[in-house]
Amino acid sequence: MSLSGKLTKKLVENLGAGRHGDGNGLYLVVDPSGARRWIVRVVVKGQKNKQGAPLRTDFGLGGADIVTLNQARERALEYRRMAKQGLNPRFNARQAIPTFEEVAQQVHLDRMPTWKNAKHGQQWINTLRDYAFPKIGRMPIDSIDQPEVMMCLAPIWTDKHETAKRLAQRIKTVLDVARSKGFRSGENPVTAIKDAQALPKVKAKVKHHKAMAWRDVPTFYADLKTHNAMAAKALMFTCLTGSRTGEVLGMRWDELDLDAQLWTCPAERMKGGEDHRVPLTDEMQAIIEPLKALESEYVFEGQRRHKPLSNMAMLMLLRRMQVEGVTVHGFRSTFRDWAAEVANVPREVAEMSLAHQVGSDVERAYARSDLLEKRRVLMSDWSKFITGMSS
């Protein structure tokens, strides 16, 4: 039996809605939604339907996005051979072993509801798409062992070490899921590689965000106040709160209680995954209250109506102000240095002000207070220092 047919890769990708025959009972079915899947129609020898006619049965062979044309033809050929022998493929076809890419795509779909956000989920599959699929994507999941995993990891292990570590963890997850579904057996090769120390140790590079010396902040802030751009207002607020860029730029009016002088950043926008309360000072409120007049969902609206300011806006402002060697995130370090050297507050007060986790899981279970009132005093003193009002 020949595997050649009428369809081509280009046709598979571009044909419109309908059922398109490749020959020998193989069809590409394109739904109105654009979804594409393979089916094969076979006549089982010796079996008849209720009307006494030969029994014709359709079997699904998988989606065309993950089952290639040649793979579909091979599976269809196997089903036809069984049917000619009088075997109903529904009961006699061996379980097809999926490819690594097929399993990975399914794991991604299954876990979509659990991702912290859509971006995280996309990053998960993109890492596999860029570094694993080109090498092992079309391999049967049960044929992947240490050499195949090493093909993916070794080229980037040193130069892109953090990416390589994430890639290893994601490959491991895919292989673990495949084993749980009966497609694999034995030890996970990623674990074996780690245990054997098959890859060289790479000294972790600690990334420090460049920070301004706390003594220079009042002069910088006074200069910043002379700028009327929205980026300047957002940067002033960021300096005063010690918050992360994304937390500030994503801030909505419904997160603020101006009467109570409190901003509650919701868990889904926090790195630690928990709500974080930020005490507002008079200086902070003086920055944001006039922005209510814009009637936007976001406090710091960007150039597009009802959209937040770009996450590059504050950094570009620093460059226009010719402030060298400083990042926006670095102002968190500046605040932390000042809190230790000048304010001399307990470590947990300063750390909670930055939304850092303090202590072990057990310690946090008993220390349920977020020390809001103590942090309110600290943030007030910080505001006074920045604005030159401290005695």
Tens-place pLDDT, residues 59-98:
777 778 777 898 889 888 888 888 888 777 765 555 567 8
In a domain, 253, yes or no: yes
Pair (188, 221) in one structural domain: no
The whole-number pLDDT of residue 378 equals 96
Q: Which of 63-67, 162-166, 208-212, 282-286 has the highest mean pLDDT?
A: 282-286
The whole-number pLDDT of residue 296 equals 93
The whole-number pLDDT of residue 391 equals 53
The whole-number pLDDT of residue 364 equals 46
CA contacts within 13 A on the Cβ side of 21: 4
Quickly state the pLDDT bin for 366 (edges 50, 70, 90). very low
In a domain, 334, yes or no: yes
The whole-number pLDDT of residue 209 equals 64
The whole-number pLDDT of residue 208 equals 55
The whole-number pLDDT of residue 1 equals 42
Quickly state the pLDDT bin for 215 (edges 50, 70, 90). very high
Average pLDDT over residues 29-50: 80
Pair (247, 352) in one structural domain: yes
The whole-number pLDDT of residue 353 equals 93
Pair (119, 246) in one structural domain: no
In a domain, 4, yes or no: no
Amino acid occupying residue 332: R
The whole-number pLDDT of residue 361 equals 53
Pair (235, 369) in one structural domain: yes
The whole-number pLDDT of residue 274 equals 86
83 and 40 Cβ atoms separated by less than 8 Å = no
The whole-number pLDDT of residue 2 equals 45
pLDDT tens per residue across span 196-206: 888 888 765 54
Pair (28, 70) in one structural domain: yes
Pair (183, 294) in one structural domain: no
Pair (242, 303) in one structural domain: yes
Q: Which of 160-169, 354-363, 374-383 has the lowest mean pLDDT?
A: 354-363
Quickly state the pLDDT bin for 244 (edges 50, 70, 90). very high
In a domain, 207, yes or no: no
Pair (264, 136) in one structural domain: no
Average pLDDT over residues 323-333: 90
Average pLDDT over residues 148-154: 94
Pair (176, 229) in one structural domain: no
Pair (231, 361) in one structural domain: yes
Pair (271, 246) in one structural domain: yes
> Which residues are CB-neighbours of 371 under 8 A, at least 6 positions away?
348, 349, 352
pLDDT tens per residue across span 258-285: 999 999 999 888 888 889 999 999 999 9
Quickly state the pLDDT bin for 121 (edges 50, 70, 90). confident
Question: Domain boundary residue among 28, 57, 92?
Answer: 92
Length of the chain: 391
The whole-number pLDDT of residue 214 equals 93
In a domain, 3, yes or no: no
Cα 18–chain centre separation: 35
Q: Can you give the CATH number for the domain in which 296 is found? A: 1.10.443.10
The whole-number pLDDT of residue 363 equals 44
99 and 141 Cβ atoms separated by less than 8 Å = yes
pLDDT tens per residue across span 175-193: 999 888 777 888 999 999 9
Amino acid occupying residue 258: L
In a domain, 308, yes or no: yes
The whole-number pLDDT of residue 90 equals 63
Pair (163, 220) in one structural domain: no
Question: Domain boundary residue among 52, 74, 92?
Answer: 92
pTM higher than 0.75 for the full model? no
Cα 319–chain centre separation: 29
Q: Of 382, 380, 378, give the one whose Cα is nearest residue 349.
A: 378
30 and 42 Cβ atoms separated by less than 8 Å = no
Average pLDDT over residues 324-343: 91
In a domain, 85, yes or no: yes
Range of the domain at 149: 100-196
Q: Of 67, 92, 66, give the one whose Cα is nearest residue 79.
A: 92
Domain count, the chain: 3
Q: Can you give the CATH number for the domain in which 61 is found? A: 3.30.160.390
Question: Domain boundary residue among 46, 65, 92?
Answer: 92
User: Is 80 exceeded by the pLDDT of residue 14?
Assistant: yes
Sign of CA dihedral 60, 62, 65, 69: negative
Q: CA–CA separation, 347 vs 341, rounded Å?
A: 11
Amino acid occupying residue 311: N
User: Is 70 exceeded by the pLDDT of residue 368?
Assistant: no
In a domain, 259, yes or no: yes
